[in-house]
Amino acid sequence: MMIEQIYTGCLAQGAYYIESNGEAAIIDPLREVQPYIDKATKNGATIKYIFETHFHADFVSGHIDLSKKTGASIIYGPTASPNFESITAYDGQLFPLGNVAIKVIHTPGHTMESSCYLLIDENGEETALFSGDTLFIGDVGRPDLAQKLIPELTEEVLAGHLYDSLHNKIMPLANDIIVYPAHGAGSACGKNMSKETTDTLGNQKMVNYALQKGLTKEEFIKEVLKGLIAPPAYFPLNVLMNIQGYDSIDTVLERGSQALSPSAFEAAANETNAIILDTRMPEIFAKGFVPNSINIGIDGSFAPWVGTLITDIKQPILIVADEGRAEEVVTRLARVGYDYCIGYLQGGFEAWKAEGKEIDTIQSINAATFYNESLNEQISIVDVRKKSEFDSEQIIGAENVPLDFINQNIASINKNKKYYVHCAGGYRSMIFISILKARGYHNLIDVKGGFKAIKATNKFTLSNYVCPSTML
């Protein structure tokens, strides 16, 4: 028997490959499925099952493509009713896999169909729990997503279901069982998840607030809902894609990987309503870019920020990428349901520049220069970090305009006023400025290195540090 966690840092998501005696199962696969097929082929195994812990909100699963390419059965927990062929299992149902078995444990709360999968080894011992978004390392799944589709399922009702699932279904299991969650730190599906991606259930019973024996349901509901902010707008749209189906990843890649000359790229931008998405590093982008481009760097938390800031998953997208990375960009967009890339700039920005096309730039200064300018004039500072980060520690006098809610807060920015913009390290501030610049705001100056660099100067007056209660 083998268990392999396939972890994707951008989404902080864990998929799982389980194999026993020539048969394999995949739990919560990502959109691009060929790596799972290649792994099984290399091992001489047949993929028999695709287990889904729930209808995911933060990414589009590869379950349909993987099933079509392998013949594997798609398994959901009780109450699931997708628009494609699948098995809706009953609570406690066993699925044999080689010399082991996988048991369904229905754990509603994060969503109503949410289920965990318990691995029973060759000796009949309960060995591993694939806990989906029900139980994370150090946290639990947020119980406010299903209500976006079913209004009567309030977050309080779902939180109550989650408490019952944890205390009646999970806590009675043996302490030595290994917990394999669907997400880790950085995911928007929970609040304060650990950077660790596995743990024993026994240790979680000791350190995870949600698994404490003396915790009442009322106390749990209050704690799990504390600090929750609205989920990204793309979450319910991804849920619907996972329920209803989607285009094959092969079709998406073919459509998005069309190389466009600078002239063809310019024509496509002018003749469609496509967004120009520049995926280069922020510091490179600032020095020169195609006018009206939005910068979301591929080497940061790319997919979640795309999902948060581009509200229409059917939005046509034109890509500017570093040489050789266009297909990677298209793939990572598809992971969160953005299937309508219509091509990329052949030769990248350098080709655009070489043809003498119009370019734009963003002023970016270091923290020392920022301080010196603050001495010479009364400046306006915009901090685009999450509210929890801002409340934890900030420059006295700074205004918090979180990038997450830029569309709701844009009215607070005066087009005629100069602002110095920073985030934690420089990634989000460039996204923020690029979006506003594309909308006609031209008096924004980026502070390189963000709050980390600002604090390191030891020159600015900062608020007293307060430990954040949540990182959402």
With 80 as the cut, is the pLDDT of residue 469 above it? no
Residue 153: what pLDDT?
83
Among 123-127, 229-233, 378-382, the minimum mean pLDDT is found in 229-233
* C-alpha–C-alpha distance, residues 449 and 456, integer Å: 10
Task: Inform me whether the pLDDT recorded for 399 exceeds 90.
Answer: yes
pLDDT given at position 149? 63
Of the candidates 112, 153, 156, 102, which has an alpha carbon nearest to the alpha carbon of residue 134?
112
Distance, CA of 291 to CA of 284 (rounded, Å): 15
Please give the model's pTM, rounded to 2 decimal places: 0.91
Domain ranges of the chain: 2-237, 247-354, 364-456
Q: Determine the pLDDT at residue 145.
A: 81
Which strands, in side-by-side order, build the sheet including 341-345? 259-260, 341-345, 317-320, 275-278, 294-295
Residue 302's pLDDT band (cuts 50, 70, 90): very high
Tens of pLDDT, residue by residue over 172-183, are 999 999 999 999
In the chain, the percentage of residues whose pLDDT exceeds 90 is: 89
Residue with tokens 């989650």: 162
> What is the reported pLDDT for 151?
72
Reported CATH class of domain 2-237:
alpha beta
Q: Are 18 and 3 in contact (CB under 8 A)?
A: yes
pLDDT of residue 231: 85
Percent share of the chain, pLDDT over 70: 99
The per-residue pLDDT for 188 is 86
CATH architecture observed for domain 364-456: 3-Layer(aba) Sandwich (3.40)
CATH number of 247-354: 3.40.250.10
Across 190-219, average pLDDT:
94
Residue 43 has pLDDT above 90, yes or no: yes
Coil, strand or helix: which one is 454?
Answer: helix
Distance CA 13, CA 28 (A): 9
The identity of residue 411, as a single letter, is A
Helix (H) or strand (E) holding 206: helix 201-207
Q: Spell out a b/e string for 108-133, using b for 16 or more CB atoms within 10 Å of the CB, else e.
A: bbbbbbbbbbbbbeeeeeebbbbbbb
Q: Is the pLDDT of residue 146 over 80?
A: no
Lowest mean pLDDT, pick from 62-71, 158-167, 279-288, 400-409:
400-409
> DSSP character for 275?
E
Q: Which residue has the higher pLDDT, 376 or 347?
A: 347
Matching fold, domains 247-354 and 364-456: yes
> What's the mean pLDDT in 325-335?
96
Digit-coded pLDDT (tens) for 230-255: 888 899 999 999 999 999 999 999 99
Among 361, 432, 440, 375, which residue's Cα sits nearest to residue 399? Answer: 432
Q: In terms of DSSP bridges, do strands 73-76 and 87-88 run parallel, antiparallel, or are they unpaired? A: parallel
Pairwise CA distance, residues 60 & 180, whole Å:
20
pLDDT for residue 107 is more than 90: yes
> Quick one: pLDDT band at residue 227, thresholds 50, 70, 90?
confident
Mean pLDDT, the chain, whole residue set: 95
pLDDT mean over 428-451? 97
